[in-house]
Amino acid sequence: MTSPVLICGGAGFIGTNVAARLMSSGQRVLILDDLSRLGVERNLEWLRRTYGSLLDFELGDIRDPRAVRRCVRDVSAVFHFAAQTAVTTSLVNPREDFEINAGGTVNLLEELRLRSSSVPLVFTSTNKVYGNLDKLAVRRCGDRYAPQHPGICSHGISEEWPLDFHSPYGCSKGAAEQYVLDYARSFALPNVVFRMSCIYGPHQCGNEDQGWVAHFIIRTLLRQPITIFGDGGQVRDALFVEDLANALLLASRNARSLAGTAFNIGGGSEHTTSLLELIDLIGNLDGSRPQIEFEDWRIGDQRYYVSDTRKFTSATGWRAKVSVRQGVERLYSWLKETYRTPVAEEMLERGVA
């Protein structure tokens, strides 16, 4: 019997999609998750129902060394998605944010270091490690911002952009990724880091702090107003989770040659949208434009962030394939079906829809 692949945070949005991809090819998967995020129990139930005995589950916290030790013992590869994911939450409780994102990652790295043989680790970091990009000159062009630098306008932000951890969340994720990279250097572990932009797709229970594409659609379906922080012209490259899963699996398979490297991963310059453009697209799909409310900019907000993905493309041949329109249409259809269920009422009651 083949050794399982461990997915930390595997009942979450990205973890569920990666687990499904692996198990659909017959690969066993072990998920470590504390099930603290709304919607993840539904994801886990779906995985169990769909893939049966290919799935093993450990209810546990990435901060618990014993739980992590049990999980890494016999696995063939690791994907690390377990995290506190919101800037706003990190501002309310910076210590917990640090303990989960930085401390939990060091727990995992230590258990992997102490194994008798090394296995690939792919860790998902964030574009927030580049700060709010206040040194990037931008101009407003209609419903979006655009960078004045022609190279960045054509290709996006590369890995050469200076790191500038901003907000406790940016600090904790930035610290975690630097540990992942240094363990590759200091202990010869095959570790790879993805600095990710906007990821979206099925099995995402988005809210205004994290998962904003899904959040906008959910609010539209529930006939609730959407709050935009800033003016709505901020631009992101949107990467459909199917394309991300392709990239993650490529990184894992090639981890020994890519070890110790961080890659900017997103839709790239060919797959961008502003918040206002996305709202127009959702309105076209839904038949009525969502109601919008505006609030002040938040700490660490970037007016423009698009990933320059050429480094990873050069290393592996990977490219994003799903257009923003195609991906949003697919997510809209999935959420429309999902939010015919009682989970919609639960989301509203808990104030996270």
253-to-14, 164, 247, 274, 289 alpha-carbon distances in Å: 18, 30, 10, 34, 43
For 129, counting Cβ atoms within 10 Å of its Cβ (0-12 exposed, 13-18 middle, 19+ buried), the class is buried
Residue 108, helix vs strand vs coil: helix
Distance (Å, whole) CA 271 – CA 199 = 11
Dist. CA 273–CA 283, nearest whole Å = 14
- 304: annotated active-site residue: no
Measure the CA–CA gap between 319 and 243, rounded to whole angstroms. 8
Dihedral sign for Cα atoms in the order 286, 333, 211, 59: positive
Smallest Cα–Cα separation from 275: which of 299, 295, 251? 295
Structure tokens at 124: 């998902």
Token digits for 299?
């700490």
Q: Can you give the length of the chain in residues?
A: 353
Sequence-distant (≥ 6) Cβ neighbours of residue 70 within 8 angstroms:
58, 60
DSSP code per residue over 258-306: HTTEEEEESS-TTSEEEHHHHHHHHHHHHSSPPPEEEE---TT--SEE-
What is the three-class DSSP state of 152?
Answer: helix
Q: Which of 51, 130, 145, 169 is catalytic?
A: 169
Catalytic residues, by residue number, are: 169
